[in-house]
Structure 1
Amino acid sequence: MHPSMQQRVDGLAAMRARTTLPPANLHVILGLTAPAQSVRYQVVAKGKAYHIIECATGKTRVFCFNYKVAVNTAQALEAAADRKAGRQ
């Protein structure tokens, strides 16, 4: 194979490998510092409802039919978890 074509194939393979890495490993490879605190709850649209999913378990904690209510609820859950963990 031509050397320039081989370089392209190798580069694409390296990028493809990075897409499957967890974010923590990607930070290490890129030489970046990981975020101090990750998000515990994520709002996801599922049909006509918005599910608030706990990122650690992948389970739905709450669902709402209004986006603003869902975001406010997720923020309240984050704040409650911070208070429980003593991270005020």
Structure 2
Amino acid sequence: MRVRGTQKVVKPVEVNVDTVYVRTNITQISEQDFEGWEYDEDTFSAKEYIEQLSNADDLSSIATLVSNLMSEIDYLRSRVETLETYHN
């Protein structure tokens, strides 16, 4: 799917809690009504993406994915702890 975004940097692979976004053909767009990026984006569940990488025998990419997922978990854990602190 072709997508547009206004983020400062477009990550080729972005890992969220349960979704992985894979972006290719990233181009910067500067039009009268739009400043940002346009790219092809595929969306996978984390499980689908890991299976895809496993099929490709790409251990480096799997390690990166696991690292990104752990970072996301750490971030969410800190947010929950902050909310619990303010709630109590």
When the two structures are superposed, what TM-score results if normalisation uses the length of structure 1? Answer: 0.29
- Which structure has the larger Rg? 1
Give the number of the structure whose residues are more often strand, by fraction. Answer: 2
Structure with the higher helix share, 1 or 2:
1
Larger RCO (CA under 8 A, 6+ residues apart): 2
